[in-house]
Structure formats: structure tokens, C-alpha cells
Amino acid sequence: MSRFTVPASSKSWLPVAAESDFPIQNLPFGLADPKGRNMSVVVAIGDWALDLSVLSEAGYLDGEEFPLLDSFIELGEGRLSDLRRAVYDLLEESNPRLRDNKKVRENALVPLEKANLQVPIPPVSFVDFYSGVHHASNVGKMFRPDQPPLLPNYKWLPIGYNGRASSVYASGTKIIRPKGQTKGANDAAPEFGPTREMDFELEMGFYLSQGHEAGKRVTTTAAEDHMLGLVIVNDWSARDMQRWEYQPLGPFLAKSFGTTVSPWIVTLDALEPFRIDGMAQDPAPLPYLRNHGKPHFDIGLEVWLKSAKMKKPQLVCRSNMKNLYWSLAQQLAHQTSNGTPVEFGDLYATGTISGEEEGTYGSMLELSWRGQQPITLDETGEKRTFLEDGDTVTMRAYAQGDGFRVGFGDCSGTVAPAV
Ligand code: MN
């Protein structure tokens, strides 16, 4: 598939700050519900959401090709790429068509804070992988101190589990502290109550652009042609519930109460300049899992934490997507290798993406090293091992280009008391 990359020198007639997530080189897609209008596919540019249904109605997009634009349905990857190219043409600084039509322009441009952004695609299925090797190895050290940090299968297959699609929420949705069974090491029996170890997991995710019937597989070569683009994913977790329930079948209620996705689908076209080889794989994967080309992306990741008492959030983690052991293509090839059917809009998350050093860990479990080393919130002097009610976790991600960044917007959620 040929990808449409906007030149680094290109500019829009709309002003875009250098540190904006949304220059003309990005043009990610979201789903908005601006007040008084209907649901519409939008594109982020600077501080604005460009309403594509308004453009379509006004005849600025090919009306036969893009008639409705009230959801992503029917917008497979090829069509999304065509649509992005058409939007690029309208926003490019030398094109007067939209720039000089005040009426259509003002109707189509919605300030980001008024866009009321939704989950871009409510997924039919949600898979969560475990491809961050430093996270997997840290968790191994904490949960199984007397064994090697990685289990023997880790470097042979991308570990994952089927998550819960019904609790995938838009950024800004409050996350209710879950109740569940927990059992202390010395307790005779478990108890039922609110988790005491509420956590976040810094992950990235991708949406599928097409489905297929049972018996088919997606190869690593074709995998990226099946992806609409990437989002940030916060896989909220309850560590005390997880520890008690996860063996032998894996996580269940400790993970299924809430997952937050960022509002913008950043296309692989926009991320093309940020491809990297990624980490070497040893042992070499089996043939069906072999990577091709540069399968990883250099995308900086951040987690910001703000308690109810704080005025400004504090940076608690700085990581990078290059910390993944398994590429996105390998994840999809593996998940479909048994012939399971998949559907348009299925969501896949990578697993927690921690770095190797202190300050690069993508969960409170690691940042506080299982609660043994609390982190201090400098503004108020508060301590944190796990998350308290009222804490807001905001994840950010961007690839840094020459004079511009391709960003994802905030993936944010606040912990609400158990009910
Ligand atoms: Mn996870």
C-alpha cells in the first residue's frame, strides 16, 4: 500500500503552534458530537476539529465517495487515506477554496474543547497484549521473585488475552473504583470490597480497518494494511484483584471495569516518517511471526498524575513505543493465526510500555515497586503507591518531526469512589 506523507515543510492556512499535536502533517480522525449537531467524523488541525459532514454537505468532498461521515463504518484504510488526502488539499495554505469561504469555514471548524469527542469506534472485540518486555520482566520480578523474570513462552509468542469491549471509554470519562475479591498473603480467606491497588497501564492500540471470515489469517506482511491507525490506551487495573484471580486463566475482573482510549486515530500514513527497526528479537521468531521492513515506531509517551488537591499535573513517566518486543504486525498475525474471524473496528492494545530505567515505568505497580517505594507529588507533598479517588491520569504521545510533532491528544480519566 502506498502511503501519503505530508512534507515537513508543508503548512496550513490555519495557525498551528509548533508544539501542537495536530499540524497538517498529522490530520488524525475522531468522532465528535458538537452541541446541537449530529455525530460526525472530524479531523484535528491546530486547536480545531474540522467537521467532515459539514464539508461533505457543502460539496467540498466527493459526495458519492463520502456521503454520510457520521461514523467510521465503510471507511476502511484505503478510503480513510483518500479522505485524509482530500482534507490535506483543503487545509494546505495555498488552497483558497475553504480558506476564503467564511460561511462554510466557520461552520466546519469546531473549537476542540467544544467538539465533545467520543470513542472513535466502539470496538466489537478488544484484545490486550503484553508486548512491553521491560514491563513483563518487572512484573515477573515482583510476582514470581524465585523464577526467571520472563516465562519461557514470552520470546516465542506475543502473550495476550481477550479483553472486554463494553467498558472501552472515551477520554474524560470517570473510572469507578471497582470492587472485587482480594486476599492478603496471610489471610485464610478472601474478602470482597473496593480495590486498594488501583492502577493505570500506559499502552498504545490499533483499530482494524477490515474484517475477515473464519479460517483466514493476516500475515505479518499484510498486517499494517489491516490497520486504520493508532490510539493511546489506558488499561486500568486493580492489582490486588489481579494477583488473586489471574492464575491459571489470566486477568478477568481486574482489567474489565474500564479501558480509556484517546480520541484521535493517528494514521500509519502520518507515522511513516517515524519508523524504526525496534529491538532485536532473539530467538528468531517462527516464520509466521517474522517482521518485515521497519516494524516499530519512535513515539514518545508520557503519563501525568494530578491529585484532587493539585492545580497542575506532575509528569511521572516518560517512555517510548520502541520498548515493545513484539511489533503491531506480529500481534495481529499471531492473534489471527488460529483462523478466528475478526471485524472492522476491533481494538488491539500493546500491553504496558515501560522503559528500563526509573521514571520510565508505565504503571504505578512499577513506579512504586509494588507499593514499597511511594512516589511524592511535589506540589502538595502527597505520597502515592497506587491511585486514590480523585486522581486524574493523563497519557500523552507524540512523534517529534523536524519542526512539527505528530501527537495523539490526551487520554485522560479520573478515579471515582467505589459504588
Ligand atoms: Mn494491559
What was the pLDDT predicted at 64?
78
pLDDT, tens digit, for every residue of 159-170? 999 999 999 999
Q: How many angstroms does the Cα of residue 270 sit away from the middle of ligand 1?
A: 25
Q: How many angstroms does the Cα of residue 119 sit away from the middle of ligand 1?
A: 18
What was the pLDDT predicted at 74?
78
Q: Is 241 helix (H, G, I), strand (E, B) or coil?
A: helix
**Identity at 383, one-letter amino acid code:** K
Residue where a domain terminates, one of 94, 114, 134: 114
What was the pLDDT predicted at 69?
86
Say how many C-beta atoms besides its own lie within 10 A of residue 144's C-beta: 12
335 shares a domain with 264: yes
Within-domain flag for 358: yes
What was the pLDDT predicted at 245?
96
Question: Are the C-beta atoms of 93 and 131 separated by less than 8 Å?
Answer: no
256 shares a domain with 216: yes
Q: How many angstroms does the Cα of residue 12 sit away from the middle of ligand 1?
A: 37
224 shares a domain with 75: no
What was the pLDDT predicted at 83?
94
Q: Which of 202, 201, 203, 199 is nearest to 239 (CA)?
A: 199
Within-domain flag for 2: no
Rounded Cα–Cα distance for residues 22 and 110 (Å): 14
pLDDT, tens digit, for every residue of 110-146? 999 999 999 999 999 999 999 999 999 999 999 889 9
343 shares a domain with 383: yes
Q: Which of 125, 320, 136, 288 is nearest to 222 (CA)?
A: 288
Q: How many angstroms does the Cα of residue 132 sit away from the middle of ligand 1?
A: 10
Residue where a domain terminates, one of 114, 147, 179: 114
Q: Which of 125, 330, 273 is nearest to 207 (CA)?
A: 125
Question: Are the C-beta atoms of 199 and 384 separated by less than 8 Å?
Answer: no
Question: Are the C-beta atoms of 230 and 271 separated by less than 8 Å?
Answer: yes
What was the pLDDT predicted at 252?
96
244 shares a domain with 390: yes
Within-domain flag for 17: no
Within-domain flag for 329: yes
Q: In the chain, which stretches have pLDDT less than 50? A: none
DSSP H or E stretch at residue 85:
helix 77-91
Question: For the residues of 189-245, what is the DSSP string, one character each?
Answer: S-EEEE-S-EE--EEEEEEES--B-TT----TTTGGGGEEEEEEEEE-EEHHHHHHH
Task: Name the DSSP letter for residue 132.
Answer: B
Range of the domain at 350: 126-416
357 shares a domain with 225: yes
Q: How many angstroms does the Cα of residue 128 sit away from the middle of ligand 1?
A: 6
Q: How many angstroms does the Cα of residue 343 sit away from the middle of ligand 1?
A: 21
176 shares a domain with 46: no
Q: How far is CA 221 from CA 66, 256, 289, 290, in A?
A: 29, 32, 10, 9
- Paired with 394 in beta bridges are 304, 412
Within-domain flag for 21: no
Q: How many angstroms does the Cα of residue 236 sit away from the middle of ligand 1?
A: 8
75 shares a domain with 189: no
pTM of full prediction above 0.85: yes
Catalytic residues: 135
Within-domain flag for 256: yes
Within-domain flag for 1: no
- Which burial class, exposed, middle or buried, applies to 367 when counting CB atoms under 10 A from its CB (0-12, 13-18, 19+)? buried
What was the pLDDT predicted at 95?
97
197 shares a domain with 56: no
What was the pLDDT predicted at 68?
77
Residue where a domain terminates, one of 50, 79, 114: 114
What was the pLDDT predicted at 217?
97
98 shares a domain with 215: no
Within-domain flag for 119: no
CATH code where residue 104 lies: 2.30.30.230
**Residue 58 is placed in which grid cell?**
457543502
398 shares a domain with 327: yes
CATH code where residue 322 lies: 3.90.850.10
Number of domains composing the chain: 2
186 shares a domain with 65: no
What was the pLDDT predicted at 188?
97
